[in-house]
Structure 1
Amino acid sequence: MKISTRFSDSIHILAFIDIYHGLIPLTSSNIASSIETSPVVVRRLMSALHKAGLINTVHGAADPELAKSPKDISLYDVFLAIEGDAHLFTIDERTNPQCIVGGNIQEALEGFYQQAEIAAKAKLATTSLQDVINTIRVKQAEKERRN
């Protein structure tokens, strides 16, 4: 089973827009080359980010911009824009009810998963896009110092 990267790719897009705004054309091809995906995927994600009010775009123009300051965009905002109310963890409902494990695993995991999901979403809500951008800039400065 492949795990979706739509959420992290969307954060990538937002950070790219902020860091490169005014420096290079912010085409879906340029952004896609950073993510190593197709421009179509970038356009789809940007459409969801636009609908959620996180970016401003003009159809046909390669100049998207953040709709808010990066400090005012939480990672939870991005998650909601891309994943909606999706759960972070999924319990397999197709298990053998005649088995001790299969007959009880869903109920056993439900509370643990719910607690983990609440904690994860709370952390995303208190982490801003600015936090991510600052970390990217620090990591880049460290790389440049080593070279």
Structure 2
Amino acid sequence: MRYSYKLSDAVHILAYLEIFADEDHSSVAISKSINSNPSLVRSLMSDLRKANLIETKQGLADTKLTRDPADISLYDVFQAIEMNHDLLHVDPKTNMNCQVGSRIQGVLDQQYRAVEEAAFEKMKSISLKEIIDGIVNK
């Protein structure tokens, strides 16, 4: 199974921008913190800019959050990044000639939607400020 770290990396970028507000905000500097490559950082920053979570100045490594970290939720960041936003996935290739295989997709889909709704509600209650406080106060 392959995992996406886009959400983690996007939150990392936002926390970096706030914690190091007066430092170098280039994709190279941020990529060193994430231990990734600058092109990934630029791609995520583009997503964050399109979602109006950050503002950038072309040609300058001067990026800022558009609002207070207390007003940015984990869900806001999740919605901002370009990725599949389903948390859970049902196997679409089950045997339709089997009682279980023919019915499990619909049953699981309904249950998975309930789990996702609960997760999204929790994500809405977690602010970037809480995450930053956890980083700074450790």
TM-score by length of 1: 0.88
- Aligned position for 1:13: 13
The CA deviation string for residues 50-95 of structure 1, in whole angstroms up to 9 with x for no partner, is: 0110001011111111010000111111111114772211111111
Aligned to 2:58: 59
What is the correspondence of 1:101-116 to structure 2 with a 5 Å cutoff?
101-116=100-115
Q: In angstroms, what is the RMSD of aligned CA positions?
A: 1.4
Mapped to 1, the partners of 2:117 and 2:63 lie a distance apart of: 32
Check the 8 A contact 1:7/1:83 in 2, yes or no.
no
**Amino acid in structure 1 at the alignment position of 2:9:** D
Corresponding residue pairs, total: 138
Q: Unaligned regions of 5+ residues in structure 2, if any?
A: none
Identity %: 44
TM-score under structure 2 length normalisation: 0.93
How many angstroms apart in 1 are the aligned matches of 2:29 and 2:86?
A: 31
**1:36 positional shift:** 1.1
Structure 1 gap segments, 5+ residues each: 140-147
